[in-house]
Amino acid sequence: MSVAPARSPLVRFVALVEQRLGLHYEQGQWGELEPLLAERSAGCGVERYLEQLAAPSSHAEWKALAERLTVGETYFLRHPTQLETLVDQVLPSFQRQTSTIRVLCAGCSTGEEPYSVALLARERGRVDSSRLRILGIDVNPRAIAHARRACYSPWSLRAVPSAMRQQWFQRTPEGFALLPQVRDQVIFEERNLLEEASAFWAPGSFHAILCRNVILYFPPDVIRKIIARMSQALVPGGYLFMGPSETLRGISEDFELLRGGDAFYYRLKPPAPPVVSVAQSIPAPEPVQRGTPPAPTPPPTPDGLEGVLQLLEAERYTDAWALLESLPQSSSPKAQLLRAVLHLHAGRLSQAEQLSRQLVTASSTEASAYYLLGLCLEQSGDEAGARGRYAASVRAEPTFALAHLRAGTLARRAGEMVEARVALRMAVSLLPQEKPLHLSLFGGGFGRHGLMQVGLQELQACTEVL
């Protein structure tokens, strides 16, 4: 496709799609939208069509576009360990405090995910199903209509054990129909996650939110907005489940990362205690008495950066920043690298990008700086640029497992499965030896084992689409 001139109809269409549906298209993908724009505007002409589309009242056309543009891949019992953790541990933990436990599946597609929660809750029996309220929302009206019908193909049920299939589904000429007692436990609503709807996201609305494999199509500023709404809508200590290749790193500091088996999920942190500055929190030295031997000095922390690293590992980004800034002004590459990582965590993408660009020539941090630059570009939506930087990072340090992991993940998303598998296999084989510094700086709280699981799930996702 030829590069569209600025503000051409196609550019405006791409921008509107991102603004209204959150779906982000790289410039190289814009061509995919060209036939759709031509088709939808055939009746009234492209200028008039775009005008109508930009109008706040254009709901019907946006529904039609959502049906054409969203990716609805889903199936029953997808990412099963997360679902088991939800019904075995998370939901029962609320049983004593409340009479109804409310779960939201945001981006539920054709309903397999919320029905899986209902089914598993019954199967495992740890939470009282009669007190469970499950709501599925999706922007695609056709997906919601399918979810309400609750009749599925064998492919949708491919991960459901046959005993469970027999117990809860009835074979019909149209497919496997979910029994009414489970079907009626879930309600569905057509809803766009991007729309302002303060009543829907009212504080304390949900005990757990599943938003899995949805935000990976959105640019970071949209993700931030959506996650902020979800964080506000959860009860204190509420839980958020995301897909295995989605992360809150650089998006939100409201949550702590938890692990159940090989599943990762997030819990809302309690409100922060009043801020105590780092200087205040360091106890004042004891006055040294004349004539007494001097107190033993504490073991030195090498140039104070170790402390910053420890705070970073503990996800105490604000404290880490305060400590770093309180150190004697250091312009060493490592200090600059830490600064760039902290900018990224705080969502200050341009500062993080600028610093990492300056660092790519410093030989001591070259691979890390390329990696960090890749993360910045990825978060600002430039996946092609990010892949180039991950490749540079691997050239500078061929054993950099995390760089292989991101490169493989992006190759998978771009549909380049052979390249994805090669990179992901490298990642999985190198992760056991990954440098602790890389894990602290870039592991996003996952740790070696967690990253291994992410790598394995990514590899599995490559084979799922074959």
Ligand X SMILES: C[S@@+](CC[C@H](N)C(=O)[O-])C[C@H]1O[C@@H](n2cnc3c(N)ncnc32)[C@H](O)[C@@H]1O
Binding site for ligand X (CB under 6 A): 21-22, 70-74, 78, 107-109, 113, 138-140, 143, 192-194, 212-214, 243
For ligand X, the closer of residues 113 and 366 by Cβ is 113
Nearer to ligand X, 186 or 214 (CB): 214
Taking the C-alpha atoms of residue 402 and residue 408, their distance in angstroms, rounded to an integer, is 10
Closer residue to ligand X, CB minimum distance, 38 or 71: 71
Alpha helices of 174-269 — where are they, by DSSP H?
Answer: 180-183, 220-233
| Nearest Cα to Cα of residue 424 among 217, 220, 245 | 245
Residue 194 contacts residue 169 (beta carbons within 8 Å): no
Whether the Cβ atoms of residue 337 and residue 368 lie closer than 8 Å to each other: yes
Query: 3-class SS at 239?
Result: strand
- Give me the least distance between CB of 151 and ligand X, in Å please: 17
Name the residue nearer to ligand X (CB basis): 365 or 453: 453
CA neighbours closer than 13 Å in the CB half-sphere of residue 108: 32
* Of residues 460, 448, 382, 393, the one with CA closest to residue 420: 460
Three-state DSSP state, 237: strand
Q: Which is nearer to ligand X, 47 or 73 (CB)?
A: 73
Residue closer to ligand X by CB (options 140, 457) is: 140
Distances (CA, A) of 48 to 5, 12, 20, 42, 146: 19, 12, 18, 10, 33
Type of residue numbered 98: T
Distance CA 12, CA 14 (A): 5
DSSP 8-state symbol, 301: P
Instruction: Quote the least distance from Cβ 23 to ligand X, whole Å.
Output: 6
- Give the residue with the Cβ less far from ligand X, 200 or 317: 200
Nearer Cβ to ligand X (71/288): 71
Distance of closest approach, residue 20 Cβ to ligand X, in angstroms: 8
User: Of the two residues 79 and 122, which places its CB atom closer to ligand X in the complex?
Assistant: 79
Structure tokens at 3: 């590069």
**Least distance between ligand X and beta carbon 106 (Å):** 7
> Least separation, in Å, of the C-beta of 309 and ligand X?
34
In angstroms, give the least distance from the CB of 212 to ligand X: 4
| Nearest approach, Cβ of residue 79 and ligand X (Å) | 7
Quote the CA–CA distance of 96 and 210 in Å, as a whole number. Answer: 22
Q: How far is CA 343 from CA 201, 228, 419, in A?
A: 29, 19, 31
Closest alpha carbon to 247 in 315, 184, 295? 315
Q: How far is the CB of 306 from ligand X (least distance, A)?
A: 40
Residues 6+ apart with CB under 8 A from 371: 389, 390, 393, 400, 402, 403, 406, 442
Give me the least distance between CB of 41 and ligand X, in Å please. Answer: 22
Sort residue 125 into left (φ over 0), alpha (ψ -120 to 50) or beta.
left
Judged by beta carbon, residue 76 or residue 255, the one nearer ligand X is 76
Nearer to ligand X, 69 or 373 (CB): 69
Q: Helix, strand, or coil here: 178?
A: strand
Nearest distance from residue 226's CB to ligand X, in Å?
A: 8
Reference 283, options 298, 269, 265; nearest CA is: 298
- Smallest distance, ligand X to C-beta of residue 21, A: 5
